[in-house]
Structure 1
Amino acid sequence: MALRSLAVLAVVLVALSQAASVKPWLDDKFNTDGNVRTGYDVSGQQVVTLSLDQHSGAGFNSDEQYLYGEFSIQMKLIPGNSAGTVSCFYLSSGDGDGHDEIDMEFMGNSSGPGHPVVLNTNVWVNGDGKKEHQFDLWFDPAADYHTYTIIWNPENILFKVDNLFIRSFKRFAGIPYAGSKPMRLHATLWDGSYWATEKGKVPIDWSNAPFNVLYKNYYANACASGGACHAGSDGWMNRQLDGSEWGTVKWAEQNYMRYNYCADGYRFPQGFPAECSRY
């Protein structure tokens, strides 16, 4: 029994030592709002928990503004019935009518077969955000951490899940593009009952609250709004998809796409947005 206690103590001490050696990225780079908790996993990585209850959601927002960059984070979503909740990882220039924004939004489900978590990707340019591609995730995002990545450069905006690219939003001549407004990085968890699950038909069941989403391993290699870029920016600044990466995009579209704004004639009775005919 004493040996077992010593072994447990040794593991705890190692974890504490690792935690002390890891720079706490949340405190160093972000401000917080609402129900936010921090801790460390057994490898010493800082874990940030956002919680949602009937009184408050939660979020963290970068102190720095960026103009182009590569941003990624690992997330572990809400297990069980998460219908009506929305957890996000996104960039935004602000809340004004003419703002730009790049979204990865995870819309909760009712749990069980036939109710996959939906990932909504969207790009807002000058306040126009009707550019959604939505995908049913092909894994359980609450069972383990998965990595979600946004690459934003002057040529295109790329969305990546783990090692698979699922979308490229390209820049075309004569069509507005998110390339002039600096953006902050945000992560939020909030009540989206009015639209998130089956277009608002399934509200949050507050008896399951609080709802928790875990974030860790935040990474950014980006250009600050003043123009200075981190070393290694050449790895993403001109990044575009090659043939095999376009193959994973087509795989995601054919097997897991739930919604494509370029196929929504009801929403665009006067014709689809101009970029839809250029892909």
Structure 2
Amino acid sequence: MAISHVLMATTWLAVVAAVAAAALDMSPVPFHAGFTPLFGDDNLVPSPDGHSVRLKLDKRTGSGFVSKKAYNHGFFSASIQLPDDYTAGVVVAFYLSNGDVYPRNHDEVDFELLGNRRGHGWRVQTNIYGNGSTSRGREERYLLPFDPTARPHAYAVSWTPTAVVFYVDGAPIREAVRVPAMGGDFPAKPMSVYATIWDGSAWATDGGRHRVDYAYAPFAADFSGLVLRGCPAVDDEVGLGGGGGAECEVAVMTHERAVMTPAKRAAMRRFRRRYLIYTVCHDRVRYGGAVFPECDVDGDGDSDGFHEWGESKRIVPHRRADKAAVTGRPSTWPIGSLRAD
């Protein structure tokens, strides 16, 4: 018995050591070490030192890159500086997906940064799909408490078997806790990490009312601080914390970015009260009154602060007329038009 206890203790110490190592190493990876070009040819421009990359959109094409590995959970981050001036219809995305492997039942976790007209700020949208649940989009949109064109800001995702947490500049803005009633809607298959810039004229700015104007092209987004800390989907690869398999999963789930403390949840609620302008959790129009099961634990507060189509009553985006009061329809998107892929 004593020997077995020693072995158990040794195993546990190894796991603890792996977790400690994971907590210490969140350093960015050079672009070519972790990623490969996806599309765009010369519209994708790595920096001379290899630590950042510029993605451009012009009338000919957008551009993008993808991680060399797929991951079974992890923490993924990019610092992004967005294009200035007139950017209506432009979409800059940082996301996880496996659509190339599972085209009919893919999983996805999105940051989509949505351009705007001159004088109107960029907005950020988050989304979660599991097992091809594109007809049940879990969108949220937020204003940003800073100018995202003036300098880079970090957008990050912590994805574990039990929750997805979205971060902006190290502060959590959304937590989606996996509950049994979600079934296959929670992303659970290995995903790669993507970054793209593309033309979203059909939906991105006021439901498609304002489209990309290529007189202002090329539109350029700069990506730096690329962090890939996860468990590679191939069993024999080394993952977060120096090992793969169960040790890596433990490291991911116990990393401080995955653990939501009371202080972090309080900070998240403050952000959401100030900057959340749309949430599917309070949208009673799009899905005929249905409420997603995880919305009971998302901490959004009283539904009285939201219109029946999910838009905030309290937060009026800068220099945007509130047409909802006149038309009875959401002013940021026509019913049914939110992105679902």
- Gap regions ≥5 residues in structure 2: 1-27, 243-247, 299-341
TM-fit CA distance, 1:245: 0.8
CA distance in 2, matches of 1:27, 1:141: 25
TM-fit CA distance, 1:166: 0.4
**Is the Cα contact below 8 Å between 1:53 and 1:211 reproduced in 2?**
yes
Match of 1:26 in 2: 31
**Is the Cα contact below 8 Å between 2:73 and 2:252 reproduced in 1?**
no
| Amino acid aligned to 1:209 | A
Q: Does 1:241 align with 2:260?
A: yes
Match of 1:173 in 2: 180
Match of 1:259 in 2: 278
TM-fit CA distance, 1:237: 1.7
TM-score by length of 1: 0.85
- Structure 1 counterpart of 2:241, from 231, 245, 250: 231
TM-fit CA distance, 1:24: 7.3
CA distance in 1, matches of 2:227, 2:99: 22
TM-fit CA distance, 1:197: 0.5
When the two structures are aligned, how many residues end up with a matched partner? 253
| Amino acid aligned to 1:252 | F
Match of 1:124 in 2: 129
Match of 1:4 in 2: none
- Structure 1 counterpart of 2:225, from 217, 222, 226: 217
TM-score by length of 2: 0.70
**Is the Cα contact below 8 Å between 1:165 and 1:245 reproduced in 2?**
yes
Match of 1:62 in 2: 67
Q: Does 1:145 align with 2:161?
A: no
TM-fit CA distance, 1:235: 5.1
RMSD after superposition: 1.9
Structure 1 range deviating more: 269-278 or 140-149: 269-278
Match of 2:302 in 1: none
Tell me the alpha carbon deviations over residues 98-121 of structure 1, each in whole angstroms, 9 at most, x when there is no partner.
110000010001131xx2211100
**Is the Cα contact below 8 Å between 1:45 and 1:217 reproduced in 2?**
no
Match of 2:335 in 1: none
Q: Does 1:36 align with 2:41?
A: no
Tell me the alpha carbon deviations over residues 182-238 of structure 1, each in whole angstroms, 9 at most, x when there is no partner.
111000000001000011100011100000000011111100012453217555423
| Amino acid aligned to 1:240 | V
Name the structure where strand makes up a greater proportion of residues. Answer: 1
Tell me the alpha carbon deviations over residues 121-178 of structure 1, each in whole angstroms, 9 at most, x when there is no partner.
0001111141011111111101001111100011110100002110101011232354
Name the structure where helix makes up a greater proportion of residues. Answer: 2
| Amino acid aligned to 1:190 | W
Q: Does 1:190 align with 2:198?
A: yes
Secondary structure at 2:60 match in 1? coil
Match of 2:80 in 1: 75
CA distance in 2, matches of 1:230, 1:166: 24
**Is the Cα contact below 8 Å between 2:91 and 2:200 reproduced in 1?**
yes
CA distance in 1, matches of 2:259, 2:108: 20
Match of 1:108 in 2: 115
Secondary structure at 2:273 match in 1? helix
TM-fit CA distance, 1:38: 1.4
CA distance in 2, matches of 1:268, 1:126: 19
Secondary structure at 2:175 match in 1? strand
TM-fit CA distance, 1:276: 1.8
| Amino acid aligned to 1:165 | P
CA distance in 2, matches of 1:235, 1:146: 26
CA distance in 1, matches of 2:104, 2:169: 33
| Amino acid aligned to 1:153 | T
Secondary structure at 2:141 match in 1? strand
Secondary structure at 1:263 match in 2? strand
